[in-house]
Amino acid sequence: MRNVRCANCGETMEIIKIDKYSKPHGVALVSAGLLFLVAMPLEALLGLVLIPFGLVVSFSKKDVWNCPACAAMVDRSR
């Protein structure tokens, strides 16, 4: 595995997994979906779409390079 050096401080970077999207957004989507499902029969179908979408948003992870020295992060695809 190739080493990647931090652009800021020259420290060797390590791969970590972080949430791909912000978790509160996913939770909000699931909550809205549940609310539609329970409270609004006409929007229940929308709820059925929102819930799995929210779960995907909540649990998607991506690999990034993280510098242990200065906490700089770089997308691994770069």
Given candidates 8, 22, 31, 60, which one binds Zn ion under the rule CB under 5 A? 8
Q: How far is the CB of 5 from Zn ion (least distance, A)?
A: 8
Given candidates 38, 45, 70, 73, which one binds Zn ion under the rule CB under 5 A? 70
Give me the numbers of helices (H) and strands (E) for the chain, helices first please: 2, 3
Closest to Zn ion by CB, 5 vs 25, is 5
- Looking at beta carbons, which pairs linking 51-56 to residues 24 or more positions away fall under 8 Å? 53/29, 54/26, 54/27, 54/28, 54/29, 54/30, 55/26, 55/30, 56/26
What is the per-residue binding string for Zn ion in 16-55, x denoting contact by CB under 5 A?
A: ----------------------------------------
